[in-house]
A and B are shown apart, each in its own frame.
Chain A
């Protein structure tokens, strides 16, 4: 089954899109509400997501479906798709892009009003700002691999 990954992600995407729309799930929104008003309703979604994934990984690796995951694996473990450094990057280099990237996502997502997931859901609800944001994601993805990656590689490699 060559197209199994596409069929599976599309089918599960529909289920999850439904759940995420009903729950108003938002990762950045959860962090923001927790920081500003100590409200834990939304951030429980983040911990639920973490717990669900952890449970799944434990069960499926015990079944032998997934290679067992080494805890506290740091270097050379996850070749990140599109990571500007790839396998050639040093540990410090990976930390630098992770910290700069994480900070930027948190900062600009708060200004936009939600994480990329939340904006996809809002776009499906008919929000014109979110639709423009999703188009921005598409344009930015092409820009990243044509413009940003060569610059980052020149600086860090």
Chain B
């Protein structure tokens, strides 16, 4: 069964607010779902626990990190297996993918979150997050023009 992105988005956004209201995913506000920040919290928490360093984690993840990204990975893995879509493959060179991952997380943390968190921050009333979403659309346009259209 296909689920439309609209339905998945509605449930996802509502869950973000619900996590903040009932599961104490706060402070900071509007932190229910974020890929970049929650990966950062998890990785830095583990590094801190192993090496005793004091890398930054969000206040909510001080004692134990939020596990959204682990959950999303497990949920997507279950869905891919149930619907027989799990297949070892690659879209392009993994080394390029690794470098792009480093770049994307640095820019994402610079603006204060991944696209998901910028969206829920906007819903929570933060105009700076809305501006960063507009800047993201500008980045998508430029990359589509200079990269996708030339490699099409």
Contact = CB atoms under 8 A, between A and B. Distances in A.
Contacts of A105: 104, 107-108, 111, 114-115, 136, 139
A117 to B, nearest CB: 5
Given A50-B122, A103-B138, 14 more contacts: A8-B23, A17-B79, A22-B8, A49-B119, A54-B13, A78-B29, A83-B112, A99-B131, A106-B136, A116-B36, A128-B94, A130-B91, A135-B98, A136-B103
A42 B101 CA distance: 22
Contacts, number: 502
A117 B72 contact: yes
A98 B111 contact: yes
19 contacts: A10-B67, A12-B18, A12-B71, A17-B75, A19-B75, A22-B3, A48-B13, A53-B17, A54-B123, A57-B124, A66-B17, A78-B126, A81-B59, A95-B128, A116-B105, A129-B91, A133-B97, A141-B36, A141-B43
Contacts of B148: 32, 36, 110
Contacts of A12: 15, 18-19, 23, 33, 68, 71
B10 A116 contact: no
Given A27-B119, A140-B105, A42 B5 contact: yes
Given A49-B13, A102-B131, A23 B74 contact: no
A148 to B, nearest CB: 6
A102 B133 contact: yes
Contacts of B19: 5, 8-9, 12
Contacts of B95: 132
Contacts of B71: 9-17
Interface residues of A, number: 122
Contacts of A154: none
Interface residues of B, number: 128
Contacts of A148: 106, 109-110
A6 B64 contact: yes
A121 to B, nearest CB: 4
Given A15-B15, A126-B88, A131 B131 contact: no
B102 interface: yes
- Closest A-B pairs by Cβ, 6 of them: A13-B71, A136-B101, A17-B75, A106-B139, A56-B17, A52-B13
A129 B92 contact: yes
B123 A108 contact: no
Contact of B110 (A20, A28, A84, A134): A84
Contact of A126 (B80, B125, B127): B80
